[in-house]
Structure 1
Amino acid sequence: MTTTNDIRPLDVGEELAEVTGGGLRIAELMLLGVFGLILCPPLLILAVIVAVPTIAIGAVVAAVAAAIAGPTFLVRKARAHHRAHHGATLFLHRLLPHRAA
């Protein structure tokens, strides 16, 4: 018994195109991956250089604003509460000396 390899040139061409196309796709993905690794670290460094100081400055400004606005809000709320219960001029009556009639 003899076996013959009946390979036609068209079959070989299709197989070669299939294998080479897959190889090119892998090379394209590898090139894209390398390009992404080259490009991303500088962008991440830039984001950190811009974002971290911005967040830090925002936190400091928020802390200062809270230190000023918090007590102001509490004093206004307390005064409004006392005005509602005692009237607006009670504080002035306490400051003025009583006159004997």
Structure 2
Amino acid sequence: LFQGRERDGIVVTDVKTPRYGDDLASSTFCGVLPGWGWSGRMEDSVLHGCIPVVMQDGIHTPWESVLDAESYSIRIRRSDMPRLEQILRAVPPKRIRSLRASLRRAWPR
């Protein structure tokens, strides 16, 4: 799904690269993919001011019991993952601003 996506404003980065934090901080959306360490990816996204895109069905995100995750993150059903780029490019700028404002309230940097 993500092979060869370092084009058209899409950057796929590994958590082990030296630029990981910089890549998150300079991104609009950050993937929170299924698998081991998904909650860490959620936390990394929030801490770097990047809108988390949760691509898992039926999970609760960290802090969801005290924070309205819907206000600062986007959920994508696993069945919609093949359309991820299309879905994210369709998010209106006003919604992005709202998500980022909520993200700053959730975790002021």
Name the TM tier (shorter chain): under 0.3
Q: Radius of gyration: which is bigger? A: 1
Q: Which one scores higher on RCO, CA 8 angstroms, separation ≥ 6? A: 2
TM-score, scaled to structure 1? 0.20
Kindly indicate which of the two structures has a greater share of residues assigned to strand. 2
- Larger proportion of helix: 1
TM-score normalised by the chain length of structure 2: 0.19
